[in-house]
A and B are shown apart, each in its own frame.
Chain A
Amino acid sequence: MTDQAVSSPLLRLPAVPGVAVALAGLSLLFALASPGFLTAGNLSNVLVQSVILLLLALPMTLIIMTEGLDLSMGAVLTLASLVLALIVVATQSLALGLIGALAVGLAFGLVNGWLIAGLSIPPFVATLGTLGAAQGLALVVSDGQSVVGIPRFVRLVYSGETFGIPTPILIGAGFYALFHVLLYHTRFGTYVCALGGNRDALTLAGVAWKRLLVAVYMLGGAMAGVAALLMTARINAGHPTAAIGLEFDAIAAVALGGTSFDKGNGWLFGTLLGVLTVGVLRNGLNLMAVPSSVQVACIGALVIAALLVDSLRSTRS
Chain B
Amino acid sequence: MSIASDAATRPIGLHLSRETQQLAYRLLAVALLCLALSIATEAFFTANNILNVLRQASLLFFLASGLTLVILTGGLDLSVGANIGLSACFAATVIKATGSPALGTLTGLATGLAIGICNGLMVAKLRIPSFIATYGMLWVLHGITYYYMAGETIHGFPPGFRQIGSGYFLGVPIPVYLMLAFLLAGTIFAQRTIWGQQIYAIGANPVAARLTGIPVDRRLILVYAFSGAMAGVASIVFLARLNSAEGDIGEAMTLPAIAAALIGGASLFGGVGSVFGTFIGALILTLVLNGMNLLAVNANWQPLVTGLIVILAVWFDMVGRRRT
A contacts B directly (C-beta below 8 A):
yes
Binding site for B on A (CB under 8 A): 115, 119-122, 124-126, 128-133, 135-137, 139-140, 143-144, 248, 251-252, 255, 261, 291-304, 307-308, 311-312, 314-315
A115 in contact with B147 (CB, 8 Å): no
**Known contacts A293-B143, A307-B128, A307-B136; is-contact A136 B307 (Cβ 8 Å):** yes
Q: Could you give, for residues 114-136 of chain B, a 1 whenever the CB lies within 8 Å of some chain A CB and a 0 otherwise?
A: 00000000100011110111011
Whether B304 and A136, one on each chain, are in contact in the complex, defined by CB atoms closer than 8 angstroms, is: yes
**Does B45 make an interface contact (CB < 8 A)?**
no
B312 CB to closest chain A CB, in angstroms?
8
Give the chain A neighbours of B35 by CB distance below 8 A.
none
Whether B304 and A132, one on each chain, are in contact in the complex, defined by CB atoms closer than 8 angstroms, is yes
Interface residue? B142 (CB, 8 A): yes
Q: What residues of chain A lie closer than 8 Å to B177, measured between beta carbons?
A: none
Contacts of B136 in A (CB 8 A): 252, 300-304, 307
Knowing that A128-B310, A255-B129 touch, tell me 15 more A-B residue pairs with CB under 8 angstroms.
A115-B311, A122-B268, A129-B311, A132-B304, A132-B307, A132-B308, A136-B303, A140-B304, A293-B145, A297-B143, A297-B147, A300-B139, A302-B136, A304-B128, A307-B128
**With A121-B311, A129-B310 in contact, do A301 and B146 touch (Cβ < 8 Å)?**
no
Are A261 and B129 in contact, CB atoms less than 8 angstroms apart? yes
Query: How many Å lie between the Cα of A273 and that of B298 in the bound state?
Result: 42
Mark contacts of B237-266 with chain A using CB atoms, 8 A cut-off: 1 yes-contact digit, 0 otherwise: 000000000000000000100110010000
Q: Considering only CB atoms and an 8 Å cut-off, how many residues of chain B contact the other chain? A: 44
Give every chain A residue within 8 A of B306 (Cβ-Cβ): 132
Contacting residues, chain A, for B304 (C-beta < 8 A): 132-133, 135-137, 140
Which residues of chain B are near A251, meaning CB under 8 Å? 131, 135
Residues of B contacting A299 with CB < 8 Å? 139, 143
Q: Across the interface, do A295 and B143 meet the contact criterion of CB distance under 8 Å?
A: yes
Judging by beta carbons under 8 Å apart, are B301 and A140 in contact?
yes
Instruction: List, in ascending order, chain B residues with CB within 8 A of A295's CB.
Output: 143
Q: Mark B141-164, 1 if CB is under 8 A from A, else 0.
A: 111111100100000000000000
Q: Which residues of B contact A125 (CB under 8 A)?
A: 262, 268, 310-311, 314
Q: Offer 26 A-B interface pairs, CB within 8 angstroms, sorted by A.
A: A119-B318, A128-B310, A129-B310, A131-B255, A131-B303, A132-B305, A132-B310, A133-B304, A135-B303, A136-B301, A136-B303, A136-B305, A136-B307, A137-B304, A139-B300, A140-B304, A143-B300, A144-B300, A261-B129, A293-B145, A296-B139, A297-B144, A300-B139, A301-B136, A304-B137, A315-B127
A303-B139 in contact (CB<8A): yes
Residue ranges of B at the interface with A (Cβ–Cβ < 8 Å):
122, 126-129, 131-133, 135-147, 150, 255, 258-259, 262, 267-269, 298, 300-308, 310-311, 314-315, 318
Q: Are B132 and A307 in contact (CB under 8 A)?
A: yes
What's the minimum C-beta distance from B178 to chain A, rounded to whole angstroms?
28
**B302→A136 contact, CB < 8 A:** yes
Which one of B139, B298, B300 lies within 8 Å of A297 (CB-CB)?
B139
The answer to whether A311 touches B126 (Cβ under 8 A) is yes
Instruction: Knowing A129-B311, A307-B129 are in contact, say whether A294-B301 is a contact too (CB < 8 A).
Output: no
CA distance A234 to B268 in the complex (A): 37
Residues of B within 8 A of A137 (CB): 304
Q: A124–B318 Cα gap in the complex (Å)?
A: 14
Collect the chain B residues with CB atoms within 8 Å of residue A297's CB.
139-140, 142-144, 147
Partner of B146, one of A133, A296, A314: A296
Report the bound CA distance from A251 to B147 in whole Å: 26
CA gap between A299 and B140 in the complex, in Å: 7
Check B315–A119 contact: CB distance below 8 A: yes
**Chain B residues within 8 Å of A301, by CB:** 136, 139-140
* Complex: chain A residue closest to B247, CB-CB: A293
User: CA of A115 to CA of B138 in the docked complex: distance in angstroms?
Assistant: 29
Chain B's closest residue to A305 (CB) is B136
Cβ–Cβ < 8 Å partners of A130 in chain B = 307, 311
A124 partner residues in chain B, CB cutoff 8 A: 268
Check B307 against A131 for contact (C-beta < 8 Å). yes
- Complex Cα–Cα for A293 and B86 (A): 13
Output the nearest chain B residue to A261 by Cβ-Cβ distance: B129
> Could you tell me the distance between the alpha carbons of A296 and B146 in the complex, rounded to whole angstroms?
9
| A300 in contact with B137 given A125-B268, A132-B303, A136-B300 (CB within 8 Å) | yes
**What's the nearest-Cβ distance from chain B to residue A134, in Å?**
8
Considering the complex, give the chain B residue whose CB is closest to the CB of A291. Answer: B147
Contact assessment for B133 and A304 in the assembled complex, using a CB-CB cutoff below 8 Å: yes
- Tell me which residues across on chain A come within 8 A of B131, comparing CB atoms: 251, 255, 261
Give bound CA distance, A119 to B127, whole Å. 32
- For the complex, what is the distance from the CA of A194 to the CA of B135, rounded to whole Å? 28
Tell me which residues across on chain A come within 8 A of B308, comparing CB atoms.
129, 132-133
**Which residues of the other chain, A, contact B318 by a CB distance below 8 angstroms?**
119-121
**Shortest distance from the beta carbon of B187 to any chain A beta carbon, whole Å:** 24
- Chain B residues whose CB sits within 8 angstroms of the CB of A122 once the complex forms: 267-269, 314
Most buried by A among B146, B267, B307: B307
Contact, CB under 8 Å: B307 / A133: yes
Contact partners of B307 in chain A: CB under 8 A: 128-133, 135-136
